[in-house]
Amino acid sequence: VSLSLYRHMCKYVVGTENHVKTIRLMNTICDNLSSDDIKVIITSGSFGEGLQMIGSDLDLMFVLKDIEVHDSRTPIAFSRSKTNFSMMTEGTKPGFVMLQLIGSPHPLFCEKCRMGNYLSNVLFKQTFLNELGPFVHGPCISDIHGLYDMAPSLHSKSWFKPASGWIVRSNSAWPDENTKRMIIDHGMLFVPTGAKGSPHEEFEWRISFSIAEKLLIYTFSHTQLLCYALMKILLKDVINTDSRCTNLLCSYYLKTIIFWISEEIQPSAWTPANLIPCFMRCFSRLIYCVQYQVCPHYFIPENNMFENKIEGLDRTNLLHTLHVLFSYRWRCILFSKQISHVSIFRCNVQNDHSEIYYEDIHKLLNSNVIIRVASVSGKYKTLSMAVHNSMSYNSKELKYLYAYFMSIMCNKHCQSVYLNRTISNKKQYKQYKTCLSYLLMNINHDTVSGWLMLASFFYKTNQYKKSLIIISYALSKCTPEKLFRGAEMSVMQRLIVKWHFVQKLGMVHLLKKVLVDYVIFKTSTFIPKELLIERTVIAIPPVVYAHFLSFLCHYHLQNVRKFRNSIQDLQLTIDEDYFIGEDVIVRSSSYYCLGTALQLMGDNVSAKRAFSETVKLLSSLPLLIRRLKRLSMIAVL
């Protein structure tokens, strides 16, 4: 049964070891390329550890480079160009510190407290509030939809004294000495939140071991990682569904329990055939912790995380629920919709590896890493860093990953170029060649969107025939066996993935060959002026955009029969929902393109119907409606 559950978790929930490795590598590259002279970005939380769980958000840490925190025990030699603090633990709970100002070249959010100037965590967080992140959520800044949490953080190169016992505590094989040394060398972080109820709560900062915990989880075997995922599923999908137990436990407690158990038993115990006994051992430890109200922090055991947390009736109800679930043994996880008895035993037969491989691809396309990749800057400096890193590695996998990132970055960079036609011919030619070179590097992240961006460039420079050649080539790639983000895979698509699996391509390299993605415009540089779009990012389905751009080219070439055929193809693409997907904003852009084409052709009645459909789809987004200028013409059509 353990092996069947292991295969089920690999296939349907967490992914294979290769998938987890890919997610971690992509996160690391995102972090490296997003960091600069001011800040270091760290992907944290479950996703940073390589786990993409249903409903999980994106956790990022934003570490300021111009502020340093020092250990008050050691002599301080600090840079006068930076702001420097000393960590003070007197009068604080284990795991928290106060940051006393030593010196700063800039005014800071410090206030008098206990005979010194201390940094206020409240004022510090307020400086990061903006339209994209308007809410404070613990130590984090959160967006309005709850999709991401960003924790502004400070760094210390020193290892915190109360955590020094961890270095010598474990004599087992886990964690090994190299991992310990790496963790200590990274130092630690401080996040802006104090101990609840503390008299100096506003001036306290919690010590974050996020980097240490990520490095520890990176040493996990895949069985350990799946056990951690099972515990998270048990909490979120089973325990928390009991209204009496909701929010009494958090996943950090479960991670702590697995760390302690990993230190206690030999790494050889974590095997696929032993997954269920390992899971039950963790579950049993959780019950013990609740029953005796003790859950020592892994790095600072003096910090009992259950102290004053789960008491009275809450503790009684939680214990009752845990004991009832434990009586089902491993089958308690079958109460989760993510795991069913039938699907587990269906995995009893060894699956074709390619079948698990395309499940990995499906998970990758729907994971937060796609959002992370899209957030990487397209600035020249960042692109240069990516090129340098790509040339520095011998690994083919890393080279393909960097080629993927550079393709997306070139897409952003070339869209930031302003095609100025008032400058001299020589400068105009240089601008043209530069933009074209970036566009030609923008074809490595999927099969078609880069080519359509190139076609858009030729259209904007009045090279309609060249644009039509590129459009025809792009359409030839939009065939039914290709993958599309957000869509389930057909039998034909699974067969093509199987063929590429035989060729042993990496997941990211595979995307260039089999993924059809949206055409995303971030500026007006390549958007056809006929769309009348003002200051907004717009994503258009690839086949829709190809036929719309084909219409525009034939329209300007006065090929009446051909531009009418393009409109018919555009209408048919929308009617058959061909590579469009479920996203309402993307679907609305399809109707907007159709309405624009119909209006240019003079069919105002049909154009009005298409525009009305656009407005209906965007009814909850009035600001976006206002930026699509042709929609304001509905009343006069």
Q: List the beta bridge partners of residue 151.
A: 61
Under a CB-based contact definition with an 8 Å cutoff, are residues 340 and 334 in contact? Answer: yes
Task: Tell me how far apart the alpha carbons of residues 89 and 158 are, in angstroms, rounded to a whole number.
Answer: 14
Q: Strand, helix or coil at 49?
A: coil
**Once rounded to an integer, what is the mean pLDDT over residues 99-116?**
82
Report in angstroms the alpha-carbon separations of 115 from 36, 112, 195: 36, 7, 21
Residue 536: C-alpha distances to residues 58, 455, 500, 524, 626 (Å)? 24, 21, 37, 8, 10
Question: By three-state DSSP, how is residue 102 classified?
Answer: strand
If you average pLDDT over residues 389-393, what whole number do you get? 84
Using CA of residue 624, residue 628, residue 630, residue 632, what is the dihedral sign? positive
Segment 407-447, tens digit of pLDDT: 888 888 888 776 666 667 788 888 888 889 989 999 888 89
DSSP string, 233-246: HIIIIIGGGSTTTT
Are 474 and 451 in contact, with CB atoms under 8 Å apart?
A: yes
- Least confident range from 121-130, 140-149, 359-368: namely 359-368
- Domain assignment present for residue 470? The answer is no
Q: pLDDT tens digits, residue range 312-356?
A: 999 999 999 999 999 999 999 999 988 876 566 666 555 555 566
- Given a contact cutoff of 8 angstroms between Cβ atoms, the answer to whether 492 and 480 are in contact is yes
Query: What is the length of the chain?
Result: 637
Give the Å distances, CA to CA, from 308 to 193, 201, 305: 18, 16, 9
pLDDT of residue 385: 87
Q: What distance in Å separates the CA atoms of residue 173 and residue 169, rounded to the nearest whole number?
A: 12
Confirm if 196 and 90 have CB atoms less than 8 A apart.
no
- C-alpha–C-alpha distance, residues 89 and 98, integer Å: 6
Alpha-carbon span 95 to 296, nearest angstrom: 11
Q: What is the pTM of this model?
A: 0.85
- Whether the pLDDT of residue 116 is over 70: the answer is yes
> pLDDT per residue over 575-632, tens digit each?
999 999 888 999 999 999 999 999 999 999 999 999 999 999 999 888 889 899 888 8
Domain boundary among 191, 216, 241: 216
Could you tell me the pLDDT band of residue 494, with boundaries at 50, 70 and 90? Answer: low
CATH of the domain at 115: 3.30.460
How many other β-carbons are positioned within 10 Å of the β-carbon of residue 595?
27
Rounded (5°) CA angle 498-501-502: 95
Rounded CA-CA distance 286/295 in Å is 9
Structure confidence at residue 158 (pLDDT): 86
Mean pLDDT, the chain, integer: 88
Q: Judge whether 418 lies within some domain.
A: no
DSSP designation for 296: B
User: pLDDT class for 393, splitting at 50, 70, 90?
Assistant: confident
Confirm whether 134 is domain-assigned. Answer: yes
Question: Contact 42/64 with Cβ under 8 angstroms?
Answer: no
Tell me whether residue 555 is in a domain. yes
- Rounded to a whole number of angstroms, the distance between the first and last alpha carbons of the chain is 66
Can you tell me the distance from the alpha carbon of 531 to that of 515, in angstroms, rounded to the nearest whole number? 26
Task: Kindly tell me if the per-residue pLDDT of 486 is higher than 70.
Answer: no
| pLDDT (mean) for 496-501 | 61
Q: Which residue among 216, 236, 261 closes a domain?
A: 216
The total of other beta-carbon atoms located within 10 Å of residue 332's CB is 20
The pair of three-digit structure tokens given for residue 152, joined into one six-digit string = 């502004």
Domain assignment present for residue 583? The answer is yes
What confidence score (pLDDT) does residue 582 get?
86
Q: Which amino acid is at 600?
A: L
| pLDDT score at 490 | 66
> Quick one: pLDDT band at residue 365, thresholds 50, 70, 90?
confident
The closest alpha carbon to 377, from 365, 390, 386, belongs to: 386
Does residue 605 lie within any of the structural domains? yes
User: Does 392 or 65 have the greater pLDDT score?
Assistant: 65
pLDDT at 10 over 80: yes
Structural domains in the chain (count): 2
The amino acid at residue 538 is I
Q: Which domain holds residue 57?
A: 35-216
pLDDT at 47 over 70: yes
Question: Does residue 361 register a pLDDT over 90?
Answer: no
C-alpha span between 155 and 452 (Å, rounded):
44
CA distance 276 to 267: 15
Q: How confident is the model over 266-292, as a mean pLDDT?
A: 96
| Maximum Cα–Cα distance across the chain | 84
- 624: Cα separation from own chain's centroid: 24
Instruction: State both tokens at 545.
Output: 């955009």
- Indicate the residue among 159, 185, 216 that finishes a domain: 216
* Alpha-carbon span 314 to 320, nearest angstrom: 10
Q: How far is CA 432 from CA 180, 437, 469, in A?
A: 52, 9, 19
At 67, list the tokens: 């502020």
Tell me the C-alpha distance between 194 and 120, whole Å.
Answer: 10
CATH of the domain at 547: 1.25.40
Q: Which residue has the higher pLDDT, 353 or 270?
A: 270
Residue 273 lies in a domain: no
Pull the structure tokens for residue 8.
């089920």
Structural domain contains residue 443: no
Q: What is the pLDDT of residue 203?
A: 93
Residue 318 CA from chain centroid, whole number: 33
Strand partners, 410: none
Q: Reduced to 3 states, what is the DSSP secondary structure of residue 315?
A: helix
Whole-number pLDDT of residue 564: 96
Is residue 308's pLDDT more than 90?
A: no
Helices vs. strands in the chain: H and E counts, helices first: 26, 15
Residue range 5-27: mean pLDDT, rounded: 90
